[in-house]
Amino acid sequence: IQTGLPVNCERYLSWANAFLVVYSINNVESFHGCQLYLQILSSHNKTFRPQTPIILLGNKLDMDRYRLVSCDAEALATRFGCLFFEVSACRDFESVQHVFYEAVRRSNRGTERGGSVGPMFVEAFVEDKALNLHSFFTPCYKELPAPATAKLVTVKTSRAQSKRRATTFTLLKGFKIF
Ligand SMILES: Nc1nc2c(ncn2[C@@H]2O[C@H](COP(=O)(O)OP(=O)(O)OP(=O)(O)O)[C@@H](O)[C@H]2O)c(=O)[nH]1
């Protein structure tokens, strides 16, 4: 484990069933930060958990016009043999959901091939931090909640509180925005 990684990084590596390494498509530094994580994860997988899926995820697709990372990301994903997606967490819930479903599917395939059995947690490494998304998935894909059953909350910006027109964001309850 090298400098720059979250404290107790090994702790996360040992119990996670899938890894999402996230960067912003409009931030080269965040992309470069991913390389270190991918190195660590891939060598950890080789040694301990060869079937654990790793997903490289470019976020902020809605900022495409300010894009600074493009084909390098795909090349990096190919180099480490991981899946690659681009999403907009703020604009496109379904694409984010698809990534998590894919993580579960891939993990289940690993389980079928003799990996660990049991409840599955998904841990996302976001740039230089490990965030627990409080997401819990059963190993069976069919048991995942359908989008229609997800509880939604509406968050208003402070301008809304002053009764002026303001943007609202619909968020999945249970997810924290830092
Ligand atoms: N445009 C856009 N902004 C986003 C998206 N996802 C997150 N953000 C914004 O990006 C900023 C950083 O998001 P965070 O969730 O705090 O990401 P983080 O990696 O924890 O960032 P730090 O707290 O700076 O380390 C926030 O202002 C978010 O609102 C997205 O899909 N599109």
**What pLDDT sits at residue 170?**
46
Instruction: Answer for the pair 57, 85: CB distance below 8 angstroms, yes or no.
Output: yes
- Helices 71-80 and 28-47, axial angle in degrees (round to 10): 10
Confidence class for position 176, pLDDT limits 50, 70, 90: very low
Residue 113 in 3-state DSSP?
Answer: coil
User: Which residues are within 8 A (CB) of 16 and not within 5 positions of it... i.e. 6 or more apart?
Assistant: 52, 121, 122, 123
pTM higher than 0.90 = no
Structure confidence by residue, pLDDT tens digits, 84-128? 999 999 999 999 999 999 999 988 886 666 554 444 444 444 444
Nearest Cα neighbor of 53 from 95, 113, 6 is 113
**Listed range (20-34, 61-75, 126-140) with the worst mean pLDDT:** 126-140
What is residue 177's predicted lDDT score, i.e. its pLDDT? 44
**Mean pLDDT of the 165-175 span:** 48
Nearest CA to ligand 1 atom 3: 60
What was the pLDDT predicted at 98?
Answer: 96
Ligand 1 atom with minimal separation from the 177 CA:
15
The pLDDT assigned to 137 comes to 37
Cα(162) to ligand 1 centroid in Å equals 25
DSSP one-letter code for 69: -
Average model confidence (pLDDT) across the chain: 72
Write the pLDDT tens digit of every residue in 53-91.
999 999 999 999 999 999 999 999 999 999 999 999 999
Ligand 1 interacting residues, C-beta cut-off 6 A: 59-60, 62-63, 88-90, 126-127, 129, 178
Percent of residues, the chain, with pLDDT higher than 70:
56
Residue closest by Cα to atom 2 of ligand 1: 60
Closest by Cα among 3, 56, 62 to 30: 56
**Distance from the alpha carbon of residue 161 to the mean position of ligand 1, in angstroms:** 22
Task: Please give the residue that has the higher pLDDT: either 139 or 29.
Answer: 29
Residue from 20, 21, 23, 24 to probe ligand 1 pocket by mutation (most atoms less than 8 Å from CB): 24
Q: What separation in Å is there between the alpha carbon of 103 and the centre of ligand 1? A: 21
Please report, rounded to a whole number, the percentage of residues in the chain having pLDDT higher than 90: 39
